[in-house]
């Protein structure tokens, strides 16, 4: 699969610094499936490898001491992920007020990473692109739980009975002859 890059940008090479081989393999695996999403491209952000969707930042490799992959994430999802899997997900003070989560690629399961990336892509991608993706064959292949659910059939609502309105007259407005000053 050919990797897409931003126009005029150099392809980002995983500058993973001194991180171990397991982290490097995790990042390479991440690139393999994240670039399969529509309109994703390799780019850079703050001089580090990044993935963008139609020019909007989806993820960025952090080369700081704690490392990790900064990934776009809904704030509610982030709280759930931090409580359920603190070994794989974490935050630094910098990201507390922003819709991002940090991922330890050497500790996260492939299933969890796939799910959090799918959710992040849906947040960043334009609504029409998400809709097209959901309608296409790729949505069925991705095993999305929503695409596997059957639509809920609703019973037609019974007509509402007409309720008689009170017959009292409406109050009349008082007119003023001259505007108040």
* Contact (CB, 8 A) for 73 and 100: yes
Specify the pLDDT at position 67.
Answer: 75
Long-range contacts of 151-159 (CB under 8 A, 24+ apart): none
Domain tally, the chain:
1
109-163 pLDDT, tens digit each: 989 999 999 999 999 999 999 999 998 864 444 444 443 444 444 455 556 666 6
Instruction: State how far the Cα of 114 lies from the Cα of 39, in Å rounded to an integer.
Output: 17
Specify the pLDDT at position 164.
Answer: 63
Domain ranges, residue 43: 21-131
Nearest residue to 62 via CA among 90, 102, 95:
102
- pLDDT greater at residue 124 or residue 175: 124
- pLDDT greater at residue 27 or residue 58: 58
N-term to C-term CA, the chain? 75
The CATH number given to whatever domain includes residue 61 is 3.90.1150.30
Please report whether residue 153 resides in a domain: no
Please report whether residue 61 resides in a domain: yes
Please report whether residue 98 resides in a domain: yes
pLDDT at residue 77 above 90?
yes
Please report whether residue 155 resides in a domain: no
Please report whether residue 79 resides in a domain: yes
Please report whether residue 31 resides in a domain: yes
Instruction: State how far the Cα of 139 lies from the Cα of 39, in Å rounded to an integer.
Output: 15
Exposed, middle or buried, 69 (CB in 10 Å: 0-12/13-18/19+)?
Answer: buried
Question: What is the pTM for the complete model shown?
Answer: 0.66
101-125 exposure pattern, b = at least 16 Cβ within 10 A, e = fewer:
bbbbbbbbeeebbbebbbebbbebb
Please report whether residue 152 resides in a domain: no
Specify the pLDDT at position 144.
Answer: 43
pLDDT at residue 46 above 60?
yes
Please report whether residue 140 resides in a domain: no
């Amino acid at each position: 699969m050919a990797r897409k890059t931003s126009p005029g940008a150099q392809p980002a090479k995983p500058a993973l610094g001194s991180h171990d081989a397991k982290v490097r393999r995790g990042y390479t695996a991440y690139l393999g499936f994240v670039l399969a999403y529509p309109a994703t491209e390799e780019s850079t952000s703050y001089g580090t490898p990044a993935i963008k969707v139609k020019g909007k930042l989806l993820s960025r490799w952090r080369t700081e001491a704690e490392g990790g992959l900064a990934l776009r994430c809904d704030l509610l999802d982030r709280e759930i992920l931090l409580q359920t899997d603190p070994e794989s997900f974490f935050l630094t003070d910098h990201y507390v007020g922003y819709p991002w989560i940090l991922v330890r690629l050497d500790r996260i399961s492939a299933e969890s990473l796939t799910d959090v990336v799918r959710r992040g892509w849906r947040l960043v991608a334009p609504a029409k692109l998400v809709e097209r993706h959901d309608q296409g064959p790729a949505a069925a292949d991705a095993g999305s739980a929503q695409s596997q659910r059957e639509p809920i059939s609703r019973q037609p609502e019974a007509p509402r009975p007409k309720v008689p309105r009170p017959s009292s007259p409406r109050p009349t407005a008082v007119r003023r002859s001259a505007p108040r000053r």
